[in-house]
């Protein structure tokens, strides 16, 4: 499995459709062996390729390929603790969804895409954005022939979290800076090992950076003093 070779081979192709076929085929054949970093390498050009194909042939299938590439790239940035890079991809996807009319034909696409956005935001601890995305997905569930159970599960978890978190995380002030804060956190901690107890180092650094923005933040340990964290 040589990702650099397949990327080079893709660059040498002329047609975007051939590039899409090559890269998506490679991902499909090696899906279970790819790391988040691998996916980022492969999906980054796929976002541009699928966007161009959609712009040249604006039909639902090409649009679906584009939004899948966007949300999958966001998902893997989050896995790599680079969630600040995921946010603009998810926001762009939401903009695309709003621009497309509500029709019977695209109900399934809208449901799937909003659901994928919701899971990304939820994993990245952007609960209010996740809640909005899941609520949007519910709007299309019936027309798409989807059970509402999955969306309702996440909405219940958002409204009734297992662990308490600082409500400031839902505030506009926090949400307006958290991507920049997490970028700084990543730069500060990227070369450190992750031994047991690293979460306390992470939370202390996050608290210190947030204070630079005038935000007092309480860590999960502060919010759940009787819970053991490692």
CB-based contact 154:116 (threshold 8 Å) = no
Q: What is the pLDDT of residue 48?
A: 98
Distances (CA, A) of 187 to 18, 29, 49, 82, 142: 37, 33, 30, 10, 44
- The CATH T-level fold of domain 3-163 is 1.25.40
Lowest-confidence segment of 25-34, 130-139, 190-199 by average pLDDT: 190-199
pLDDT tens profile 162-178: 999 999 999 999 999 99
Q: How much is the average pLDDT of 145-164?
A: 95
The pTM for the full model equals 0.95
Torsion region of 94: left, alpha or beta (phi above 0 gives left; psi -120 to 50 gives alpha): alpha
Q: What is the pLDDT of residue 194?
A: 87
Q: In this model, does residue 230 exceed pLDDT 90?
A: no
pLDDT band at 1; cut points 50, 70, 90: low
Lowest-confidence segment of 10-24, 48-62, 188-202 by average pLDDT: 188-202
Q: Where are the domains of the chain?
A: 3-163, 164-230
Q: In this model, does residue 84 exceed pLDDT 90?
A: yes
pLDDT tens profile 49-74: 999 999 999 999 999 999 999 999 99
Q: In this model, does residue 145 exceed pLDDT 90?
A: yes
Q: In this model, does residue 85 exceed pLDDT 80?
A: yes
Question: CA-to-CA distance for 4 and 156, rounded, in angstroms?
Answer: 43
Q: In this model, does residue 41 exceed pLDDT 90?
A: yes
Q: How much is the average pLDDT of 209-226?
A: 96
- Contacts (Cβ under 8 Å, ≥6 apart) of 185: 202, 205, 206, 209
DSSP tag of 32: G
pLDDT band at 141; cut points 50, 70, 90: very high
- Average model confidence (pLDDT) for the chain? 96
């Amino acid at each position: 499995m040589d990702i650099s070779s397949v990327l080079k081979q893709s660059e040498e192709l002329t047609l975007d459709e051939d590039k899409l076929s090559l890269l998506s085929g490679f991902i499909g054949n090696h899906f279970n062996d790819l790391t988040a970093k691998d996916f980022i390498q492969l999906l980054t050009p796929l976002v541009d390729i699928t966007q161009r194909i959609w712009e040249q042939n604006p039909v639902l299938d090409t649009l679906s390929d584009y939004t899948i590439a966007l949300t999958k790239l966001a998902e893997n940035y989050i896995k790599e603790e680079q969630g600040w890079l995921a946010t603009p991809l998810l926001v762009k996807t939401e903009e695309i969804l709003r621009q497309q009319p509500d029709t019977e034909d695209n109900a399934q696409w809208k449901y799937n895409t909003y659901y994928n956005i919701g899971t990304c935001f939820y994993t990245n601890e952007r609960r209010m954005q996740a809640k909005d995305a899941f609520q949007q997905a519910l709007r299309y569930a019936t027309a798409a022939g989807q059970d509402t159970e999955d969306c309702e599960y996440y909405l219940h978890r958002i409204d009734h979290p297992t662990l308490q978190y600082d409500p400031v995380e839902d505030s506009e002030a926090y949400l307006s800076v958290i991507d920049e804060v997490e970028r700084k956190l990543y730069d500060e901690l990227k070369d450190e090992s992750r031994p047991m107890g690293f979460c306390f180092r992470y939370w202390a650094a996050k608290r210190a950076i947030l204070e630079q923005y005038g935000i007092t933040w309480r860590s999960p340990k502060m919010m759940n003093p009787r819970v053991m964290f490692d």
